[in-house]
Every structure is written in structure tokens, then in C-alpha cells.
Amino acid sequence: MNDSKERYGGITRFLHWGMGLLIVWQFMKFFDRINDGEHWVGENLASWHISIGSVILVLIVLRIIWAAKQKNNRPEQEPATAFLVKAGHGLLYLGMVLLPITGLMIMIGKGYGWDPFGVELVAGGGPEIGWMATLGSVHSLIAWSLLVLVVGHAGIALLHHFVKKDGVLRRML
């Protein structure tokens, strides 16, 4: 369950890979740029965007609390690059926090409401809140930034495994 100096524990690994899958799913929203989303990906995957994003909002709160508790028993980083690794992982967290928040700001700011899985939490047809919609519009920019970070992150993990052949990937498996 808990992490250790040797490897990440079950809860950390569940959060990492579960959220990883959901985030890749959320990236399918980029395909809405093709033919206004009128294709298989748009109709079957991107159509879950608000619901899956809302799940990620709950999970990232739990993940941050969990990471704080595990702070002192996680695997060590190589001293030479420890700072870069911390900064990179910190930015991944920042993206996972800011995307659901700005997504919600678009929906509520534009008066569309919020109804994950059909459960109406904020009714649609409400008043437009200009400043909120404006702040929310950084959603797309943050999504592109997270995409670049995730590709880099996964690439580095694979480099560790197949080129450096150390145990960095294995401790998350």
C-alpha cells in the first residue's frame, strides 16, 4: 500500500496509471478540431470530456493528499537531476489541477452548467460570467502544455528503461 525507498506502493501506482489513462482519454478532445468532432473519436470518447474531467478533479485532490503523506518514503532521485525531476513532476501536478478548474470556468462562465454523468451540479442556462469564461480560456493552452510534458515524461521513463537500463520505470510498475 505505502510507498518505500525501493518502489512506489499500490495506491500511488493505481493513481498514476489510472489517471494517466484518463488524461490520455481527455486528450482525445483535441480531435474535435477535425470535422467539428463528427467522427468516431468525437462521438465515443471526447463526448465524455466533462464527466471524465470531473473524475480527474476528485482524483487529483486525493493524489495530492496521498503524495504529501508519502513524502518521506518515496524512491530517491539521482542528486544531479533531482531538482529537474521535482520541477517536472510538479508541473504535471499543476496541469492536472488547472485543467479541471479552467474547464469548469468555461462551462459555468459561459452559463452552460455542469452535469457530470448526467448529475446536474450547476444548472445550464445561467447568466454568463465574463471574467470566469475569460480566465477559463487558458484551458486549451494548458492542455497543449500538458501534452508536451506528458510526451517528454513518458519518453524519459522509456529512456531509463531501455537505454540506461536502470530500475526507474520498474519502481512504478
Can you give the binding site for ligand HEM, defined by CB under 6 A?
12, 16, 20, 23, 26-27, 29-30, 33, 49-50, 53-54, 56-57, 67, 75, 77, 85, 89, 92-93, 96, 99-100, 103-104, 106-107, 114, 139-140, 143, 150, 153-154, 157, 168-169, 171-172
HSE of 129, CA atoms in CB hemisphere, 13 A: 14
Minimum separation from the CB atom of position 105 to ligand HEM (A): 8
DSSP 8-state symbol, 7: S
Residue partners of 19: CB distance under 8 A and separation at least 6: 56, 59, 60, 63, 96
In the bound state with ligand HEM, the residue whose beta carbon lies nearer, of 9 and 127, is 9
Letter string b/e over residues 56-71, b meaning 16 or more CB atoms within 10 A of that residue's CB: bbebbeebeebeeebe
Nearest C-alpha neighbor of 26 from the set 83, 99, 98: 99
- Looking at the Cβ atoms of 129 and 168, the one nearer to ligand HEM is 168
Give 68 or 127: the residue with its C-beta nearer to ligand HEM: 68
Using only C-alpha atoms, the chain has a radius of gyration, in whole angstroms, of: 18
Q: Which residue has the closest beta carbon to ligand HEM?
A: 103
Could you tell me if 5 and 73 are in contact, meaning their C-beta atoms sit under 8 angstroms apart?
Answer: yes
Q: Work out how close the CB of 95 gets to ligand HEM at its nearest, in angstroms, rounded to a whole number.
A: 6
Between 89 and 111, name the residue whose CB sits nearer to ligand HEM.
Answer: 89
The minimum distance between CB 77 and ligand HEM, in angstroms, equals 6
CA 39 to each of CA 32, 36, 47, 135: distance values in angstroms, whole numbers, following the listed order: 9, 8, 11, 30
Q: Cβ 16 to ligand HEM, closest distance in Å?
A: 5
Give me the least distance between CB of 56 and ligand HEM, in Å please: 4
Q: Which is nearer to ligand HEM, 26 or 45 (CB)?
A: 26
